[in-house]
Amino acid sequence: MARYFDVHPVDPQRRSISQVVDVVREGGLIAYPTDSCFALGCQLGNGKGLDRIREIRELDDKHHFTLMCADFAQLGQFTQVSNAVFRLVKASTPGQYTFILPATKEVPRKLLHPKKKTVGVRIPDHTVTQALLAELGEPLLSSTLLLPDFAEPLTQGWDIKERLDHLVDAVIDSGECGTEPTTVVDLSGDEPEVVRVGAGDPSRFE
């Protein structure tokens, strides 16, 4: 049964955040809110957690997982960023964008796109997510909480608790968040490619 944390959206309770991070460090899988929609998250390198996300979402091995990063310095540790890409990403973060970039050797092989050796990264503009990342001290391996056969991601903590009670280890509820996933931009090639239009304005990359 998943633990349920009711967290203040503006001033997250430190004790609750610490308890959630303990769940992550102990190998758990969490459902947590972001500035776009809810996400599933586990610790980087948690192979079983990765497999649980794949199972819940019914994902194939071509799916780009996302490293939810606290800041640009953390993002730069796990991806290769040219000067041109640096300017593009810097101008759009924190915010509702996921960027696909070439990964460094810091990223576990299981997370990489099998052919392109890329990974998704983002820096969220959400107080609770940032509190989690600050306490954890490393990126959260994440994927949008979009269930198979659902047109939109789940948006309410109590609903997620009911549906995924035996599939995740903790649910954070800080009120409703958005229903629209991030805009995904592939910056691994010569030109930016908008792979998915979502909550972030894609026009700056077109």
- Residue 132 amino acid letter: L
Give the pLDDT of residue 176.
78
Measured at the CA of 195, the angle between CA 67 and CA 64, to 5 degrees, comes to 30
Give the pLDDT of residue 179.
82
Q: Would you give the distance in Å from CA 203 to the centre of its chain?
A: 22
Neighbours of 182 (CB within 10 A): 26
Domain limits, the chain:
3-205
- Please compute, for residue 143, the number of CA atoms within 13 A of its CA located in the half-sphere on the CB side: 22
- pLDDT tens, residue by residue, 132-167: 999 999 999 999 999 998 888 888 899 999 999 999
SS (H, E, C) 167-179: CCCEEEECCCCCC
The Cα–Cα gap between 189 and 173 comes to 38
Task: For 54-93, give the DSSP string.
Answer: HHHHT--TT---EEE-SSHHHHHHHB---HHHHHHHHTT-
Q: What residue ranges of the chain have pLDDT lower than 70?
A: none
End-to-end CA distance of the chain: 45
Q: Which of 61, 95, 101 minimizes the C-alpha distance to 78?
A: 101
SS3 at position 164: helix
SS3 at position 198: coil
The CATH classification of domain 3-205, taken from the options 3.40.50.1220, 3.40.50.880, 3.90.870.10, 3.40.640.10: 3.90.870.10
DSSP category for residue 11: S
Q: Kindly state the tokens that stand for 159.
A: 């609903």
